[in-house]
Amino acid sequence: MRKLIFLSLLIIVASCKKENDKAVVHNPKQYTIEQFMDNEAVRGGSFSADKSNLLVSSNKSGIYNVYTVPIEGGDMMAITQSDSTSIFAESYFPNDNRMLISADGNGDEIDHLFVRELDGSIKDITPEKGAKSAFYGWSKDKNSLYYGSNKRDPRYFDVYKMSIADFSSELIYQNNDGLNFSEISDNEKYFALTKSLNTNDTDLFLYNSETKEQIKINDTKSGNSAQDFSKDNTKLYYTTDDGSEFSYLMSYDLNSKGKSKVLERDWDIMGAGFTNQGNYMGVYVNEDGKNAIEVLNSGTMTPIDLPDFEGKSITSLSFSDDESLMRMYVGGSNSPSDLYSYNLETKKQHKLTDVLNDEINAEDLVTAKVIRFKSFDGVEIPAIYYLPHQASEDTKVPAMVWVHGGPGGQSRQGFSSLIQYMTNHGYAVLAVNNRGSSGYGKTFYQMDDLNHGEKDLQDCVEGKNWLITQPEIDGSKIGIIGGSYGGYMTMAALTYTPEEFDVGVNLFGVTNWIRTLKSIPPYWESFRESLYLELGDPYSADSTRLKRISPLFHTDKVTKPLIVLQGSQDPRVLQVESDEIVAGVRKNGVPVEYVLFEDEGHGFVKKENQIEAYSKVLEFLDTYLKKENEPIDGEIPNKEIEPETK
């Protein structure tokens, strides 16, 4: 969580090559937002003890509920039937069919853990009011679970061990130093802990619960992250970017304290971990904004063969405890991820879901491409480009520059119904990974420190300028859209570069950095100082700069149409942020639309609300961007016709 502060749920797509070929024109059937939102999203996949079912989360009912699905295919069975708060699957219990599930209060992020008993009853096992809990895993003997909670001190998460027989808890690590728990060894002797200090500077600590000794693993300023302990409790595996632009995998010997490089790739190794028996290690690499997954034989550290899905990618996987079965999600930029099971012994695979709406022809969906352009100062900026099928030199289309959440997020591979809805209706989308985005090396990652709303904004403007050069794009009709930090960038663009973009779409974006940084939730205390070092300390002289880059104080500069969407339960970007920016811009006589959801938090998860939000966005774009460039009543005419936690 070094820089991913205001996480946006809007994640984008890429494939890694530069594309100069002329687009093939195809007139796709146009679909409604209801048809796009009828795509199903499925998450997770915990194996039952008898390996007959997987426990998953799905939004097929309109919000997330918990389901089981047979391992070789069949109908999903609903386990929960909530019609208000989303409920998520965590795990089957290790030895029976009880289920661990979680839920917050309509997006307030105060998560609790619940047990779904064999008789169907559901019990809150972390009932402390106002305390946030997170599942950390099962004990080696399968008689207990580990979880984190800030019930003792709202600022810090302690580690608890809970008996699954009577749900009694004991405190096994008291967090007095603002550290973040990462891993625990199977013998419960060692804890891996991290401390976020600044961009690209996260210290890694090893705590010995028997001797109470705590030592720092890294010797230099670098980004470090614990990944897993070896099954024999002799080594800690961790990733570090010490001496490198990208993170690689290291091991630390718990006895000799020696370090060894284990694995290195050309991009960041984002994650690595052993299967239950320790025979395999799964490795996740962030390859130019796309998951590249390897499963290694842990004895030889060589890859095993994985199924080929003909152009689609495996986006995540996990194993059954006996390592005979694997579940995988498989998808791409033009295909929502489906769940598969795979038998490593028989090599048989089963497709367990079919999440794309039957009414949508897959050929009508757009495949994203990675492009790169030079920014104002020569820095190369990567971006993800979606060009509508119907676009051509003869049929030019309007475009939107998309900014990811964060700061420090990344637009990367993953199906987006909103993006596909926009492209299906004739809008090109360029998802700019401006300086400060993760995934492109630590130098690039820190380029926007104490510089937000300035050089990163200029990168977005240069993305717009790149769009203007594309023969299929109408350079006089380009807007900007983003969620969370991307919403801030939308407002910064309309405020500080008011003639660059023709419209703005602000999804729950920060508009007053001073207030936002002063009102961060108490459970962010472990990285508050790191956040202040990156963005600025609102209690210091930095407040002058923070006010200068906060669009709320400069709304008189906004001249272009704006739509703002917000959840009233959002604990990260408070509703008042959107209330005030709307009121301020309306004073200019500029068209402003405001869509507020009383039952959403930071990002919209209920299908009913997503349908309303995204249909409002398209209606807004059709009215103010796709239109001809004549003034509309109440609109200030363009002075010129010219052409997105952490």
The pLDDT tens digits for 286-309 are: 999 999 999 999 999 999 999 999
What was the pLDDT predicted at 14?
Answer: 33
CA atoms of 296 and 556, how far apart (whole Å): 57
User: Over the stretch 454-474, which tens digit does the pLDDT of each residue have?
Assistant: 999 999 999 999 999 999 999
User: Is 123 in contact with 117 (CB distance < 8 Å)?
Assistant: yes
CA atoms of 220 and 597, how far apart (whole Å): 46
Domains 39-106+188-351 and 362-624 share a fold: no
Tell me the residue type at 457.
L
Task: Place 632 in a pLDDT band, splitting at 50, 70 and 90.
Answer: very low
Task: List the chain domain ranges.
Answer: 39-106+188-351, 362-624
pTM: 0.90
CA atoms of 78 and 75, how far apart (whole Å): 10
Task: Place 527 in a pLDDT band, splitting at 50, 70 and 90.
Answer: confident
User: Over the stretch 238-277, which tens digit does the pLDDT of each residue have?
Assistant: 999 999 999 999 999 999 999 999 999 999 999 999 999 9
Q: Which of 497, 491, 426 is nearest to 462 (CA)?
A: 497
User: Over the stretch 174-186, which tens digit does the pLDDT of each residue have?
Assistant: 999 999 999 999 9
CA atoms of 394 and 474, how far apart (whole Å): 10
Report the percentage of the chain scoring pLDDT > 90: 86
Question: In the predicted model, what is the mean pLDDT of the chain?
Answer: 91
Residues 6+ away with beta carbon under 8 Å from 352: 54, 69, 70, 71, 73, 338, 339, 340, 341
CA atoms of 256 and 234, how far apart (whole Å): 9
Strands 504-507 and 473-483: parallel
User: Over the stretch 153-175, which tens digit does the pLDDT of each residue have?
Assistant: 999 999 999 999 999 999 999 99
Read off the pLDDT of each residue in 362-368 and give the average, rounded to a whole number: 95
For residue 407, whether the previous peptide bond is cis, meaning omega lies within 30 degrees of 0, is yes
| Token couple for 50 | 């008898």
Helix (H) or strand (E) holding 329: strand 325-332
The number of angstroms, rounded, from the C-alpha of 119 to the middle of its chain's C-alpha atoms is: 35
In CATH, 39-106+188-351 is 2.30.30:
no
Read off the pLDDT of each residue in 534-563 and give the average, rounded to a whole number: 95
Read off the pLDDT of each residue in 482-492 and give the average, rounded to a whole number: 96
CA atoms of 365 and 290, how far apart (whole Å): 18
Integer CA distances (angstroms), 70 to 350, 357, 642, in order: 10, 21, 55
Q: Which of 372, 354, 438 is nearest to 404 (CA)?
A: 438
What DSSP string runs through 206-249?
A: EEETTT--EEE---SS-BEEEEEE-TTSSEEEEEE-TTSSS-EE
CA atoms of 632 and 234, how far apart (whole Å): 70
Report the side by side order of strands in the sheet with 144-149: 133-138, 144-149, 158-163, 169-173
What was the pLDDT predicted at 13?
Answer: 31
Task: Place 24 in a pLDDT band, splitting at 50, 70 and 90.
Answer: low
Read off the pLDDT of each residue in 121-144 and give the average, rounded to a whole number: 97
CA atoms of 176 and 167, how far apart (whole Å): 25
Locus of tokens 């104080």: 553
User: Over the stretch 37-84, which tens digit does the pLDDT of each residue have?
Assistant: 999 999 999 999 999 999 999 999 999 999 999 999 999 999 999 999
Domain formed by 362-624, architecture: 3-Layer(aba) Sandwich (3.40)
| Token couple for 498 | 């008011």
Locus of tokens 């070092």: 533
Per-residue pLDDT at 17 exceeds 80: no
What was the pLDDT predicted at 627?
Answer: 80
